[in-house]
Amino acid sequence: MDAPSPGQPLQGRVALVTGGNSGLGRAIAFGLRDAGARVAVGGRRADRNAEVQRDLGEGSLALTLDVSDEASVRAAVEAVVTRMGRLDVLVHAAGVARRGSVMKLEREEWDLVMNTNLTGAFLCTKHAAPHMARQGGGKIIHVSSVYGHVAPSRGLQVAYTVSKHGLQGLVRANAVELAPLNIQVNAIAPGFALTEMTQELSGQPIEAEIARRTPSGTGLAAPEHFVGICVFLASDAAAHLSGVSIPVDGGYLASDGLNRA
């Protein structure tokens, strides 16, 4: 593996980004590429995968991947290692949300969210970590949420909130187990971002409320706001950082949110 340069701290590294064909995952995939990594993206939609691979350019890879299906995860990880030679960085950015009261949410919707957001993170770690261990180390980064730290003010995102809280436990447990193998496991906890999942909030009263609640005054952040922290966590600079979830939220979690006069 080539030694990284200051301008490209991920030079010579290979990264797999799940959910990498849209939203935060797509932005992170391009950020890792710009930092020198060769990037594979995995997602369920083949047409979007092909589009992202074309835009990422030579040396990239796109794979049809359902993170809730263990056979699909195993095949994708093995394809990355076989075709790109190694796997240094895993970013689990695949995620879904379903809004609903605990009293009305259908079991199928609960299962969809948990299987994608939490079980998917487990499966990707399970199959990526052995390859990283054999090559001497690696980085695993999960995309959590501020709702991995707090709950929505009116609930209603019960499956999503529980999945992201569970992800915090997975990060800590895996960080402890995998540390002796030189594998660091961390998460980022984005605040509200403008993606396909949240586009219905844009221009609505809730966007103004998010901006009021966030000390930076930001409403829906751009996906690019979350790239730098992932590049850092994927680099040697984060070699002694593991088991944490880092909020990237404009100060949202630092404030009590009260609208004092």
Sequence spans of domains, the chain:
14-249
- Confidence grade of residue 3 (pLDDT, cut at 50, 70, 90): low
Which of the following CATH numbers is that of domain 14-249: 3.40.50.720, 3.40.228.10, 3.30.930.10, 3.90.550.10? 3.40.50.720
pLDDT at 6: 65
Question: Alpha-carbon distance 184 to 178, whole Å?
Answer: 7
Q: Tell me if 37 sits within 8 A of 234, measured CB to CB.
A: yes
**CB-based contacts of 195: which residues, under 8 Å, 6+ apart?**
22, 23, 24, 223
- Confidence grade of residue 257 (pLDDT, cut at 50, 70, 90): confident
Backbone angles phi, psi at 51, to 5 degrees: -65, -45
Residue type present at position 96: V
- Neighbouring CB atoms inside 10 A of 37's CB total 27
Average confidence score pLDDT of the chain:
94
Question: Alpha-carbon distance 222 to 156, whole Å?
Answer: 25
Residue 53 has pLDDT above 70, yes or no: yes
> Which whole number is the average pLDDT over 140-149?
97
Q: Tell me if 220 sits within 8 A of 194, measured CB to CB.
A: yes
- Active-site residue, 160 included: yes
pLDDT at 260: 78
List the catalytic residue out of 122, 147, 160, 226: 160
